[in-house]
Structure 1
């Protein structure tokens, strides 16, 4: 039997991807939608884990550092926090699957302040695949945390996007050269 692996679809929401999103990567993020949805289907069909760590914020939260850096985004119970495009109906279709779940995160890294590491270790998952946005922010910080925790990291270049091309390219090189990640 194949070792368990997990696909992390990070922050692939309307606010980060849709043209009308509050903090959107725009077209580069929209172009990766079919790749992300197809990868989610593959992982699900192969009885692997699909985890959707998703940013959650409160408007004008004076205690959160991002409040000073970015406009309000991914607010609870808003259109902006729903998954972008065909990922939303795919997720809704798999709400009752025990290997598909979404959870809230409030920092760049999917590991910071969450039980992700515990959940992965309980399931004997040693290899994680990363897709979503932003390559040089939340994907990067998640990859750094995963590296420091000893996970094998696979970044799907066709499944990530950033606010700028230079930021995306820098992060891809960092994954390879500083974290020893496999970039496919």
Structure 2
């Protein structure tokens, strides 16, 4: 069984004027990310939208010291970007479409993602979204440590750091044994 994880493909991470944007690189993956999402939904596979949910007044969250406020709860910055938004809206009530608010880089950290995957018998996860070298990477490392087989859709991941993006793709394959598609 397989699942698609769509990580942080939001206005703040992708729009030209987003608070922590991947800009043109993030915008360039929209078609591939949306197409993969459509295919997984049509096949009845589990699709997870794992989205940052930050509170800039949280003095204990380390990201508030590392990055400008982004994906702030209650703001338009958390909205899915581009044509992914209406796709989610059309399927948000489907039993195989699931939204996770995440507080940390990894979609597994502090969420019920592992439980949701295991109760469905999922063994393979397909990663899409941003940032390749931050949230996608940390999710992949946790998935590896939890025993999932990892597949990364190269045309559907991006970062604001081209060097980090390239390094992460190599790390996925060479260190985590991920299949790069």
| TM-score for both structures, normalised by structure 1 | 0.97
State the Cα distance separating 1:60 from its structure 2 match.
3.1
Aligned residue number for residue 169 of structure 2? 172
RMSD over aligned CA atoms reads 0.6
Unaligned runs of 5+ in 2: none
* 1:45 partnered with 2:71: no
Hey, which bits of structure 1, 4+ residues long, moved more than 2 A?
none
Cα distance in 2 for partners of 1:107, 1:62 equals 14
Aligned length, in residue pairs: 181
1:12 to 4, 9, 12: 9
Cα distance in 2 for partners of 1:67, 1:44 equals 34
State the Cα distance separating 1:78 from its structure 2 match.
1.0
Aligned residue number for residue 77 of structure 1? 74
State the Cα distance separating 1:76 from its structure 2 match.
1.1
2:119 to 122, 145, 150: 122
Aligned residue number for residue 147 of structure 1? 144
* 1:36 partnered with 2:29: no
| TM-score for both structures, normalised by structure 2 | 0.99
* 1:66 partnered with 2:67: no
Unaligned runs of 5+ in 1: none
Listed one character per residue, the Cα deviations across residues 17-57 of structure 1 (whole Å, up to 9, x for unaligned) are 00010000100000100111111100011110110010000
* 1:90 partnered with 2:98: no
Cα distance in 2 for partners of 1:55, 1:78 equals 12
Q: Residue 60 of structure 1 contacts residue 72 of structure 1 at CA under 8 Å; is this kept in 2?
A: no
